[in-house]
Every structure is written in C-alpha cells, then in structure tokens.
Amino acid sequence: MRIYVGNLKYQVTDEQLREMFSEFGQVASADVIKDKFSGQSKGFGFVDMPNDAEAGDAIQALNDSVHDGRKLTVNEARPRTERPQRGF
C-alpha cells in the first residue's frame, strides 16, 4: 500500500521517514518529495509498505500524531489528479 505523509518538517530525510514506519512492518520505500530545482523538501512524502494490514496499522497510529512538533497527516495515497498546465 502506498501511504501519503504530510506536514513533515523540511529537515526530515528519507531514512528518518523509513524509520518512522518500520516499527509497524516492512517498508519497501520511503521518499520525501523535494523541489526539483532547489532540492528543498516540500514537507510531504510517500511510504510503500507491501503488507496492507501493517500499512493500515501505521496509518491508524501515525495519523494526527506529533513528530518533531508537527501534527502529521497520514493516509492511503490517492492517484495523482491531472492539473491544468499554468500558462506563462
């Protein structure tokens, strides 16, 4: 299951995100999303967990929890919706 994790501190690394979820089970990948130009974190990321039951436990435990002083938003990731291109 792919999990969305929002409201992360900008300093959180992929490895810290992986560690946060690994206590609930196997983590296939953990990626903090970064701006492609500056490399700065965008404050959210995605975690892939192969076991849906473990992923569900992680979502339930971590959603609305506080990590580094910030209240996390954790839920099952939804497919990205197409946004119209911005004209310049």
Closest CA to 8 of 59, 65, 85, 79: 65
Q: Which pLDDT score is estimated for 3?
A: 98
- The answer, as to whether pTM is greater than 0.75, is yes
pLDDT band at 49 (very low <50, low <70, confident <90, very high): very high
- In the chain the domains, ranked by start, together with CATH numbers, are 2-73 (3.30.70.330)
Mean pLDDT of the 78-86 span: 79
**DSSP 8-state class, residue 3:** E
Q: Which pLDDT score is estimated for 87?
A: 65
Percent of the chain's residues with pLDDT above 90: 88
6: β partners: 44, 73
DSSP string, 9-77: -TT--HHHHHHHHHTTS--SEEEEEE-TTT--EEEEEEEE-S-HHHHHHHHHHHTT-EETTEE-EEEEP
Over 90: is that where the pLDDT of 86 sits? no
